[in-house]
Structure 1
């Protein structure tokens, strides 16, 4: 691990190398299916938590793959990681999985990096690498779960005349908005802080809107780490999307 990296560079470095490790685990040929997903989760998590404890020993840490402790609640700076977002997609040999590394400061997703190693050549998006957004499509495109699209997303898509684009992990869907492959990622039905902290940080750094679906800000490092819903979209779409989400008859689940 390179010494002396600032927070943003460290997040990007960790996400990148965890992604490389996951590719090595997959390419070893020793695991398939659920066993591959489990091995990838554990190996990437060990790398990330050991690296963060070495590089930022005074910061808090929350990982999907490690036992949570109350120690982080008293800290202003907390790293929130998902070593393998989209375990199922990874185990199936798909490309739509991700690595999330984020730093929340006073509950705000301030620094983040999302690696998409399964895409050709690998892609890394980070808060210190923000660039201009691609042009929006003439017809809005909305990323949804490839296996169980949320009723909320389906209803909003119908209201706006949006095209549905199925894909895998939360990170892949959120980064599809940043990359310009879709214009909206609307999630409901339950996630956790590690699912959205890094994607939200990267999206905000790129000038996108990121909030709860009622418009409330995203707040991290809570005692209850559930984060039930999420909206990431272009800013000029936010008001209409939030209005559509207020329909009391909408309900459902997503992933």
Structure 2
């Protein structure tokens, strides 16, 4: 099984497990989110350790092993991206299975189980982006929209699209539901590795909000900001971010 096939398979199966946990009726709210995180993480970590024992591994729900920093290939996973949305029985949550090679998000799969079984976006199977004409649509957190994103949306006469998880937002650009995902509220490597790998494969622009590269498998896994957007908007968004920063 190729790395890409493995990532997609594991993301899909983890998604099925999470749906089963949610429909079991045994948990609700925060308890549901915690149970889903634990079960999906256990499956993903055990599967990756069995299938790719020589690779490094970083998971949101697993104690970090510093040995990963000495590995060229590192799997970076988020068992439930959007735990709140999952616990609230919404559809805008995701499962991330990504790989960074020498610090670069190289391949990945993002499952959106809430949209239906088998909804998995893969870095090795890009699809054509739907055309969009008109005002740019900017994805923002449905609970904590970042100030920079709001300011850029105003400068570009954009339309705000509130949504849950980072993976759901990134895939919304691929699905044609939005054009720009600008986040400056802080994330971690597992929030964006798989989505960035998939987005890049689909021809989207992916960078920090100052235009610098996204670097993974760092000792400090915190990532302050992120920009994923259709390529035709990249220059204008980065310029707008620069103007916002200069005015701050």
* TM-score normalised by L of structure 1: 0.95
Alpha-carbon shift at residue 120 of structure 1 (Å) = 3.8
Deviation string 1:90-147 (CA, Å, 9 cap, x unpaired) is 0001000000000100011001000000014451101011011110231110010101
Give the conservation status (yes or no) of the 8 Å contact 2:16–2:117: no
- Residue 241 of structure 1 is aligned with which of 234, 237, 240? 237
8 A Cα contact 2:105 2:216, kept in partner: yes
User: In angstroms, what is the RMSD of aligned CA positions?
Assistant: 1.0
Residue 191 in 1 paired to residue 187 in 2?
Answer: yes
**Gapped regions of structure 2 (runs ≥ 5):** none
**Of 13, 21, 24, which residue of structure 2 is paired with 1:25?**
21
* Alpha-carbon displacement from aligned partner over 1:162-206 (angstroms, at most 9, x marks no partner): 100001111111110111110000001210000000000000000
- The equivalent of 1:47 in structure 2 is 43
Query: Between Structure 1 and Structure 2, how many residues are aligned?
Result: 247
Deviations for 1:192-236, whole angstroms, at most 9, x for unmatched residues? 000000000000000000000000011100001001100000111
Query: 3-state DSSP class of the match of 1:118?
Result: helix
Instruction: Look up the match of 2:173.
Output: 177
Cα distance between partner residues in 2 of 1:161 and 1:122: 36
Matched, 1:79 2:72: no
Aligned pairs for 1:197-236 (under 5 A) are 197-236=193-232
Distance 1:190 1:69, change over 3 A: same
Stretches of 4+ aligned residues off by more than 4 angstroms: none
Aligned to 2:9, which of 5, 13, 23? 13
Which secondary structure state, in structure 2, belongs to the residue aligned with residue 135 of structure 1? coil
Contact 1:62–1:72 (8 Å) recurs in 2? yes
